Each structure stands twice: as structure tokens, then as C-alpha cells.
Structure 1
Amino acid sequence: MIDEDAKYFCLSGDIPVGGPSTWQVVDWDRRHVVSVTMDGEQDDDDLAIEHYSRLNHQISPETYRIYVSESAEIISTHDDAKDDVNYCIHYPSLQDAHLP
């Protein structure tokens, strides 16, 4: 198990003037990248990591983008595989793996 302070990392962020801001959050425990979009100009990744760490149990493993409101609730999620920019390879758990 990964320590809570090392579990999440932001690859980069897109911060246009006036917002919305998008940060790419890596969840090392789930081996997954999720883009967290928030209104306004968020110059620091701390808020994106905070939102994702609190909301990640509410989204499916296929979700690659969430849009979060100012009150920290999920406005929308995106999970269309053709638009996913997930750079981490998903390795299934031993229980999910099947031998041919």
C-alpha cells in the first residue's frame, strides 16, 4: 500500500486566463491518470489533488476526467475510451487475472 502523501501526483496543469483550470492527477495506487477541471485560475495542484482524493471513490475506473464545482461536488465525468489520455498501464489484480 502506498503512503497517503505519496499516493497522488500532478503531471501538469492547463491554466488559461479566467479559467477553468485542469490538472492531470496521477493516482499511483490505482495506476490511473484523471484530469480534474475546476472553475477559475487554480495556480497550484493542491486543490485538484484534494478534490480527487476525496471524490475518487465516486468515479468508475474508466473515468479519465471530472469537472468539479466550487462547492467540491462532481458536475460531470467523462469515460469515453477513445478520448482517454491515460499514460499508466493498468495491471489487473491477481484475482482478476485469468490464465488462458
Structure 2
Amino acid sequence: MATATAPNSARVNMRISSSALEVIDEAATLQGIDRTAFFIDAAVTRARKVISEERLRVTATEVEQIKRLLSDDQDPTEALRSAAQRLADLGL
């Protein structure tokens, strides 16, 4: 008999070495969560980091524009202050 899956969930199957699984299980236990929660948290955290890093890539032309703007003696605009705050929020 097939089991129903919640509408907002998907199943993921993977192969993993027994030694890696032991490490993951130990870490999950130390965190007080189950293996599934540990996998999801680790994967989503890493995915968000990769996405934010990829979105922050700039071209050589953009670097030159930034340098030119930074060397200007004018006060920063609200847009520049906002962009700087977003970078600070990302820890960059």
C-alpha cells in the first residue's frame, strides 16, 4: 500500500557511507534534533549561502564603477547606504 505525502513536501533519497551517517547522527543528537531535521537545516543553510554568494558576483566593469563612486567626495546616497546595510546584514 502506498503512503500519501503531504502536498507541500517532497521525498529525497540518497546513498551515504556508514561513517558519514554516524557523524551526522551524532551531530543531530548533540543538537537535539532528528537526522531529517539536521539534513534539511544543513542543506538549506548551505544552499542559501551559495545563492547569496553567486548573487554578489560583480564584473570588472562594475568593480571600476564602484571604485569610481567610492573615490568621489560626495556624501553617500540613500541607495548606497541601503546597499551597504544589506552587505553588512550578509556579514560581508
TM-score bracket, shorter-length normalisation: under 0.3
Higher RCO (CA 8 Å, separation ≥ 6 residues) = 1
Greater helix share, 1 or 2? 2
Structure with bigger gyration radius? 2
Q: Tell me the TM-score normalised to structure 1 length.
A: 0.20
Normalization by structure 2: what TM-score?
Answer: 0.21
Higher relative strand content: 1
